[in-house]
Protein backbone atom coordinates (compact mmCIF):
# COMPACT_ATOMS: atom_id res chain seq x y z
CA UNK A 1 0.00 0.00 0.00
CA UNK A 2 1.31 3.41 -0.85
CA UNK A 3 2.20 5.58 2.10
CA UNK A 4 0.65 8.72 0.72
CA UNK A 5 -0.23 11.06 3.56
CA UNK A 6 -3.64 11.54 2.05
CA UNK A 7 -5.99 8.63 2.69
CA UNK A 8 -8.78 9.94 0.58
CA UNK A 9 -9.03 12.67 -1.97
CA UNK A 10 -12.35 13.46 -3.56
CA UNK A 11 -12.86 16.18 -6.12
CA UNK A 12 -15.94 17.38 -7.95
CA UNK A 13 -17.84 14.21 -7.15
CA UNK A 14 -21.29 14.30 -8.71
CA UNK A 15 -24.01 11.71 -8.85
CA UNK A 16 -27.03 12.20 -11.00
CA UNK A 17 -30.02 9.85 -10.90
CA UNK A 18 -32.03 10.93 -13.92
CA UNK A 19 -33.11 14.49 -13.15
CA UNK A 20 -32.07 14.31 -9.53
CA UNK A 21 -28.63 15.47 -8.50
CA UNK A 22 -28.11 13.38 -5.37
CA UNK A 23 -24.60 14.70 -4.82
CA UNK A 24 -23.02 17.59 -6.61
CA UNK A 25 -19.43 18.78 -6.69
CA UNK A 26 -18.56 17.08 -3.43
CA UNK A 27 -15.00 17.50 -2.35
CA UNK A 28 -13.05 16.14 0.55
CA UNK A 29 -9.46 15.72 1.58
CA UNK A 30 -8.84 13.26 4.35
CA UNK A 31 -5.31 13.05 5.76
CA UNK A 32 -4.19 9.67 7.11
CA UNK A 33 -4.90 8.96 10.76
CA UNK A 34 -7.80 11.36 11.14
CA UNK A 35 -11.39 10.79 12.17
CA UNK A 36 -13.69 12.68 9.85
CA UNK A 37 -17.43 13.10 10.10
CA UNK A 38 -19.95 13.42 7.33
CA UNK A 39 -23.28 14.72 8.55
CA UNK A 40 -26.43 16.12 7.11
CA UNK A 41 -30.19 15.76 7.31
CA UNK A 42 -31.90 12.63 5.98
CA UNK A 43 -31.62 12.31 2.23
CA UNK A 44 -28.71 14.71 2.00
CA UNK A 45 -26.66 12.22 -0.02
CA UNK A 46 -24.28 10.88 2.62
CA UNK A 47 -24.82 7.22 1.86
CA UNK A 48 -24.68 8.00 -1.85
CA UNK A 49 -21.17 9.36 -1.28
CA UNK A 50 -20.24 6.12 0.49
CA UNK A 51 -21.71 4.06 -2.32
CA UNK A 52 -19.63 5.98 -4.85
CA UNK A 53 -16.50 5.56 -2.75
CA UNK A 54 -17.00 1.80 -2.58
CA UNK A 55 -17.91 1.33 -6.23
CA UNK A 56 -21.57 0.45 -5.71
CA UNK A 57 -22.52 3.50 -7.79
CA UNK A 58 -20.48 4.89 -10.65
CA UNK A 59 -20.25 8.65 -10.16
CA UNK A 60 -21.44 10.84 -13.01
CA UNK A 61 -18.46 13.13 -12.62
CA UNK A 62 -15.47 13.69 -10.41
CA UNK A 63 -12.46 11.84 -9.14
CA UNK A 64 -11.74 9.68 -6.11
CA UNK A 65 -8.26 8.72 -4.97
CA UNK A 66 -7.77 6.18 -2.22
CA UNK A 67 -4.23 6.19 -0.85
CA UNK A 68 -3.19 8.03 -3.98
CA UNK A 69 -4.73 5.55 -6.39
CA UNK A 70 -7.74 6.34 -8.55
CA UNK A 71 -10.64 3.97 -7.90
CA UNK A 72 -13.34 5.18 -10.26
CA UNK A 73 -14.53 2.43 -12.55
CA UNK A 74 -13.28 -0.37 -10.34
CA UNK A 75 -15.61 -3.02 -8.98
CA UNK A 76 -16.44 -2.92 -5.25
CA UNK A 77 -14.21 -5.89 -4.40
CA UNK A 78 -11.28 -4.32 -6.29
CA UNK A 79 -11.71 -1.04 -4.44
CA UNK A 80 -11.64 -2.88 -1.11
CA UNK A 81 -8.25 -4.27 -2.08
CA UNK A 82 -6.98 -0.72 -2.51
CA UNK A 83 -7.29 -0.29 1.24
CA UNK A 84 -10.77 1.02 1.94
CA UNK A 85 -13.51 -0.91 3.71
CA UNK A 86 -16.97 -0.08 4.90
CA UNK A 87 -19.76 -0.99 7.26
CA UNK A 88 -23.44 -0.75 6.42
CA UNK A 89 -26.23 1.43 7.70
CA UNK A 90 -28.50 -1.59 8.07
CA UNK A 91 -26.24 -4.30 9.43
CA UNK A 92 -25.11 -6.76 6.78
CA UNK A 93 -23.28 -9.50 8.62
CA UNK A 94 -23.00 -13.07 7.39
CA UNK A 95 -25.74 -13.98 9.83
CA UNK A 96 -25.68 -17.75 9.71
CA UNK A 97 -21.91 -17.96 10.05
CA UNK A 98 -19.87 -17.81 13.21
CA UNK A 99 -18.42 -14.55 14.46
CA UNK A 100 -14.96 -15.89 13.66
CA UNK A 101 -15.91 -16.87 10.10
CA UNK A 102 -17.30 -13.39 9.51
CA UNK A 103 -13.90 -11.92 10.21
CA UNK A 104 -11.99 -14.74 8.51
CA UNK A 105 -13.80 -14.13 5.21
CA UNK A 106 -12.47 -10.57 5.17
CA UNK A 107 -9.01 -11.56 6.28
CA UNK A 108 -8.80 -14.11 3.45
CA UNK A 109 -9.20 -11.20 1.05
CA UNK A 110 -6.44 -9.08 2.56
CA UNK A 111 -4.06 -8.68 -0.38
CA UNK A 112 -1.03 -8.58 1.93
CA UNK A 113 -1.75 -12.08 3.25
CA UNK A 114 -0.68 -15.34 1.60
CA UNK A 115 -3.25 -16.96 -0.65
CA UNK A 116 -3.59 -20.57 -1.63
CA UNK A 117 -5.10 -22.11 -4.71
CA UNK A 118 -7.54 -24.98 -4.80
CA UNK A 119 -4.96 -27.76 -4.70
CA UNK A 120 -3.10 -26.71 -1.54
CA UNK A 121 -6.48 -26.35 0.17
CA UNK A 122 -7.50 -29.76 -1.12
CA UNK A 123 -4.41 -31.51 0.16
CA UNK A 124 -3.92 -29.26 3.19
CA UNK A 125 -0.27 -28.60 2.63
CA UNK A 126 1.70 -27.61 5.67
CA UNK A 127 1.89 -24.00 4.49
CA UNK A 128 -1.84 -23.79 3.83
CA UNK A 129 -2.68 -25.15 7.28
CA UNK A 130 -0.15 -22.86 8.91
CA UNK A 131 -1.53 -19.78 7.17
CA UNK A 132 -5.07 -20.80 8.04
CA UNK A 133 -4.19 -21.13 11.72
CA UNK A 134 -2.27 -17.91 11.60
CA UNK A 135 -5.33 -16.13 10.21
CA UNK A 136 -7.45 -17.68 12.93
CA UNK A 137 -5.12 -16.40 15.64
CA UNK A 138 -5.01 -12.93 14.07
CA UNK A 139 -8.79 -12.87 13.80
CA UNK A 140 -9.22 -13.85 17.44
CA UNK A 141 -6.82 -11.08 18.38
CA UNK A 142 -8.77 -8.59 16.31
CA UNK A 143 -12.03 -9.75 17.87
CA UNK A 144 -10.38 -9.28 21.27
CA UNK A 145 -9.97 -5.57 20.57
CA UNK A 146 -13.72 -5.37 20.13
CA UNK A 147 -14.40 -7.57 23.14
CA UNK A 148 -15.92 -10.26 20.96
CA UNK A 149 -13.32 -13.02 21.22
CA UNK A 150 -15.28 -14.97 23.83
CA UNK A 151 -18.18 -15.24 21.40
CA UNK A 152 -16.21 -16.18 18.31
CA UNK A 153 -17.93 -19.55 17.84
CA UNK A 154 -21.45 -18.15 18.16
CA UNK A 155 -23.56 -17.29 15.15
CA UNK A 156 -23.27 -13.64 14.17
CA UNK A 157 -27.06 -13.30 14.32
CA UNK A 158 -27.05 -14.31 17.98
CA UNK A 159 -25.01 -11.29 19.07
CA UNK A 160 -26.71 -8.33 20.71
CA UNK A 161 -27.26 -5.35 18.46
CA UNK A 162 -24.34 -3.27 19.67
CA UNK A 163 -21.96 -6.20 19.27
CA UNK A 164 -23.21 -6.81 15.74
CA UNK A 165 -22.33 -3.22 14.87
CA UNK A 166 -18.88 -3.66 16.37
CA UNK A 167 -18.41 -6.97 14.56
CA UNK A 168 -19.07 -5.14 11.30
CA UNK A 169 -16.23 -2.75 12.11
CA UNK A 170 -13.97 -5.67 13.01
CA UNK A 171 -14.86 -7.37 9.75
CA UNK A 172 -14.06 -4.24 7.77
CA UNK A 173 -10.72 -3.91 9.56
CA UNK A 174 -9.83 -7.52 8.80
CA UNK A 175 -9.67 -6.71 5.08
CA UNK A 176 -6.39 -5.01 5.87
CA UNK A 177 -7.79 -1.64 4.86
CA UNK A 178 -6.42 1.34 6.72
CA UNK A 179 -9.32 3.57 5.74
CA UNK A 180 -12.69 2.72 7.23
CA UNK A 181 -16.03 4.09 6.14
CA UNK A 182 -18.56 3.72 8.93
CA UNK A 183 -22.15 4.26 7.90
CA UNK A 184 -24.07 5.27 11.03
CA UNK A 185 -22.11 3.08 13.42
CA UNK A 186 -24.12 4.23 16.43
CA UNK A 187 -27.57 3.90 14.85
CA UNK A 188 -29.94 2.22 17.26
CA UNK A 189 -27.46 2.17 20.12
CA UNK A 190 -28.24 3.35 23.62
CA UNK A 191 -26.05 6.11 25.15
CA UNK A 192 -23.96 3.56 27.01
CA UNK A 193 -23.28 1.52 23.87
CA UNK A 194 -22.47 4.69 21.94
CA UNK A 195 -19.90 5.68 24.53
CA UNK A 196 -18.32 2.24 24.28
CA UNK A 197 -18.27 2.60 20.52
CA UNK A 198 -16.58 5.99 20.71
CA UNK A 199 -13.87 4.49 22.86
CA UNK A 200 -13.42 1.66 20.38
CA UNK A 201 -13.14 4.01 17.41
CA UNK A 202 -10.56 6.10 19.26
CA UNK A 203 -8.68 2.95 20.14
CA UNK A 204 -8.45 1.56 16.64
CA UNK A 205 -7.29 4.93 15.41
CA UNK A 206 -4.49 5.29 17.94
CA UNK A 207 -3.52 1.62 18.10
CA UNK A 208 -3.70 0.75 14.41
CA UNK A 209 -3.37 4.12 12.76
CA UNK A 210 -6.70 3.75 11.05
CA UNK A 211 -8.23 6.62 9.14
CA UNK A 212 -11.96 6.86 9.67
CA UNK A 213 -14.70 8.57 7.72
CA UNK A 214 -18.07 8.23 9.38
CA UNK A 215 -21.65 9.14 8.72
CA UNK A 216 -23.58 9.69 11.89
CA UNK A 217 -26.68 11.34 13.25
CA UNK A 218 -25.65 11.04 16.87
CA UNK A 219 -24.17 14.51 17.43
CA UNK A 220 -22.59 13.51 20.71
CA UNK A 221 -20.49 10.96 18.87
CA UNK A 222 -19.71 13.19 15.90
CA UNK A 223 -18.79 16.23 17.96
CA UNK A 224 -16.97 14.05 20.47
CA UNK A 225 -14.50 12.21 18.25
CA UNK A 226 -14.35 13.81 14.81
CA UNK A 227 -11.51 16.19 14.14
CA UNK A 228 -13.21 17.68 11.15
CA UNK A 229 -16.72 17.52 9.77
CA UNK A 230 -18.37 18.07 6.42
CA UNK A 231 -22.04 18.90 6.25
CA UNK A 232 -24.15 17.86 3.28
CA UNK A 233 -27.54 19.23 2.45
CA UNK A 234 -29.41 18.32 -0.73
CA UNK A 235 -26.21 16.87 -2.13
CA UNK A 236 -24.22 20.06 -1.64
CA UNK A 237 -21.48 20.56 0.88
CA UNK A 238 -22.65 23.53 2.92
CA UNK A 239 -19.95 23.58 5.57
CA UNK A 240 -16.61 22.11 6.49
CA UNK A 241 -14.56 22.55 9.60
CA UNK A 242 -13.90 21.55 13.16
CA UNK A 243 -16.81 20.52 15.39
CA UNK A 244 -16.75 23.95 17.05
CA UNK A 245 -17.02 25.75 13.73
CA UNK A 246 -19.80 23.49 12.54
CA UNK A 247 -21.85 23.96 15.69
CA UNK A 248 -21.80 27.71 15.26
CA UNK A 249 -22.39 27.69 11.52
CA UNK A 250 -25.77 29.30 10.74
CA UNK A 251 -26.14 27.44 7.43
CA UNK A 252 -25.84 24.11 9.21
CA UNK A 253 -28.38 25.09 11.82
CA UNK A 254 -30.67 26.19 9.04
CA UNK A 255 -30.28 22.88 7.22
CA UNK A 256 -31.21 20.92 10.30
CA UNK A 257 -33.84 23.11 11.90
CA UNK A 258 -35.04 25.38 9.13
CA UNK A 259 -34.80 29.13 8.93
CA UNK A 260 -35.96 30.97 11.98
CA UNK A 261 -38.54 33.70 11.37
CA UNK A 262 -36.92 37.17 11.39
CA UNK A 263 -38.43 38.42 14.64
CA UNK A 264 -37.62 35.32 16.70
CA UNK A 265 -33.92 35.39 15.88
CA UNK A 266 -33.03 36.02 19.48
CA UNK A 267 -29.95 34.69 21.28
CA UNK A 268 -32.24 32.26 23.13
CA UNK A 269 -33.36 30.60 19.90
CA UNK A 270 -29.82 30.05 18.65
CA UNK A 271 -28.76 28.52 21.90
CA UNK A 272 -31.59 25.98 21.67
CA UNK A 273 -30.48 25.17 18.14
CA UNK A 274 -26.86 24.58 18.95
CA UNK A 275 -27.92 22.71 22.04
CA UNK A 276 -29.75 20.28 19.81
CA UNK A 277 -26.71 19.85 17.63
CA UNK A 278 -24.52 19.10 20.57
Partner 1 sequence: MTTHPLTHPQSKTGLQSLWVWIAAVAVVWIFQFFFVGYVDPYYFSIVMYSGINATLAVSLNLVNGFTGQFSMGHAGFMSVGGYVSALTTSLVVAKYPGIMGVDAGGPGIEGAILLVGALFLGGLVASLAGFLVGLPSLRLKGDYLAIVTLGFGEIIRVIVLNLNVVGGARGMANIPALTNFGWVFSVCIFTVFTIWRIVNSAHGRRFLSVREDEIAAEAMGVNTTAVKVRAFVMGAFFAGVAGGLFAHYLRYLNPQTFDFNRSFEIVIMVVLGGMGSITGSVLAALLLTVLKEALRPLQEITRLDFRMVIYSLMLIILMLNKPNGLMGTREISDVYQSFREKLRVRFGANQGSDQKGAKK
Residues that bind partner 1 (CB under 8 A): 54, 56, 75-77, 80-81, 85-86, 88, 92-97, 101, 104-106, 108-111, 115-116, 118, 121-130, 132-137, 171-172, 174-175
Task: Find the shortest distance in angstroms from Cβ 212 to partner 1.
Answer: 16
Min separation Cβ 173 and partner 1, Å = 11
Q: Write 156-161 long-range contacts (CB < 8 A, 24+).
A: 156/93, 156/94, 156/95, 156/96, 156/97, 156/98, 156/99, 156/102, 157/93, 157/95, 157/96, 159/99, 161/188, 161/189, 161/193
Q: Which is nearer to partner 1, 115 or 278 (CB)?
A: 115
Nearer Cβ to partner 1 (101/202): 101
> What is the C-alpha to C-alpha distance for residues 80 and 229, in angstroms, rounded to an integer?
24
Q: Which is closer to partner 1, CB of 101 or CB of 149?
A: 101
Distance in Å, CB of 59 to partner 1, minimum: 17
- Kindly state the smallest distance separating residue 86's Cβ from partner 1, in Å: 6
Beta carbon of residue 213, minimum distance to partner 1 (angstroms, whole number): 15
Looking at beta carbons only, is 56 or 257 nearer to partner 1?
56
Residue closer to partner 1 (CB basis): 95 or 150: 95
Amino acid sequence: MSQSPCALQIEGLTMQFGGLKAVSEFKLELPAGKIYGLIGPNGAGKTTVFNMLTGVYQPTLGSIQVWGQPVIGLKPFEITKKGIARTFQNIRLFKQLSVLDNVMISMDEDPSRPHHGLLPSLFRTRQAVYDEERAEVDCSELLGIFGLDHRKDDLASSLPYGDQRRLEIARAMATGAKLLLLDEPAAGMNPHETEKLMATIEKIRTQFGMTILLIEHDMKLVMGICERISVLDYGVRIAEGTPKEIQGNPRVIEAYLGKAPEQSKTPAATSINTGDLK
